[in-house]
Amino acid sequence: MAGRGRGRGRGQMTFNVEAVGIGKGDALPPPTLQPSPLFPALERRAAPLPGGEEGEYMLALKQELRRAMRGLPYFVKPGAPRRDIERYSDKYQLSSPVDSAIDWNPDWRRLPRELKIRVRRQRKGRTAPLVPKQHVALDKEETIKKLESLEKKEEEVTSEEEEEKEEEEEGKEEEEEEYDEEEHEEETDYVLSYFDNGESFGPDSDDNGDEAVY
């Protein structure tokens, strides 16, 4: 009895098909062989959007809010991507203190203690005042001064030792320059102090180098 209906005529259902309304001989829709289309055809157009003053004001508000939220410190930007090669200009880019500080001041009493990010220890501690120091007034002048000093440093590799000494003295006065010089020293492959300019050897090089040494 159970298997009687099987195989005889397609589309046999467990309930009486006529009761639901599909009469005998009515053409049923063909079986679907593929998933429904991604954008099915719209049978009727959608209703118009509510316009009017209220709608437009809310629209403007929404876009304003989006824009404003991007600028707030709550928008956490991912850290600057590590470049494959360290470029010279990286030194001059004012990078924000990524990953290691919060730009706004939450009330720490209201937050769990484990969320407080400690200021790093000494080594990095020098970079932290370094970066804000650059922000402090007279930005341009500092950079120009730095550029000049670095220019001099570039020349010094091939120039006199005295200037180098002078540089180092100047550098010692200001923390930054000292730090930069150390950095600069570290970056090159050659140890700068190795290059003996030959000052102590032979006569002064104030003369034209072309003249033969007697």
Question: Which residues of this chain interact with other proteins, rule CB under 8 A?
Answer: 14-16, 19-21, 43-44, 46-47, 49-51, 54-55, 57-59, 61-63, 65-66, 68-69, 72, 74-79, 99-100, 102, 106-107, 109-117
Q: Pick between residue 51 and residue 202 the one whose CB is nearest to other proteins.
A: 51
Beta carbon of residue 99, minimum distance to other proteins (angstroms, whole number):
5
| CA 52 to mean position of chain CA atoms | 41
Specify the residue, 5 or 132, whose C-beta has the smaller distance to other proteins.
5
Report how far residue 118's alpha carbon sits from residue 104's, in angstroms, rounded to the nearest whole number: 15
Tokens in use for 155? 């020349």
Closest separation between CB of residue 2 and other proteins, Å?
13
Name which of 120, 121, 99, 127 is nearest 183 in CA terms.
127
Which is closer to other proteins, CB of 100 or CB of 143? 100
Q: Which residue shows structure tokens 């001041």?
A: 105
Question: How near is the Cβ of 89 to other proteins at its closest, in Å?
Answer: 21
CA dihedral 87, 89, 93, 98 (to 10 degrees): 0
Could you tell me the smallest distance in angstroms from the CB atom of residue 163 to other proteins? 41
Would you say 113 or 135 has its CB closer to other proteins? 113
Token representation of residue 173: 């006065």
C-beta closer to other proteins: residue 14 or 188: 14
Q: How far is CA 101 from CA 11, 68, 116, 124, in A?
A: 68, 21, 9, 12
Rg (CA), the chain: 38
Residues 150, 180 contacting (CB under 8 angstroms): yes
Distance in Å, CB of 7 to other proteins, minimum: 20
Q: Smaller CB distance to other proteins: residue 76 or 144?
A: 76
Measured CA to CA, the distance from residue 65 to residue 75 in angstroms comes to: 13
| Sign of the alpha-carbon torsion through 112, 117, 121, 125 | negative
Q: How far is the CB of 40 from other proteins (least distance, A)?
A: 11
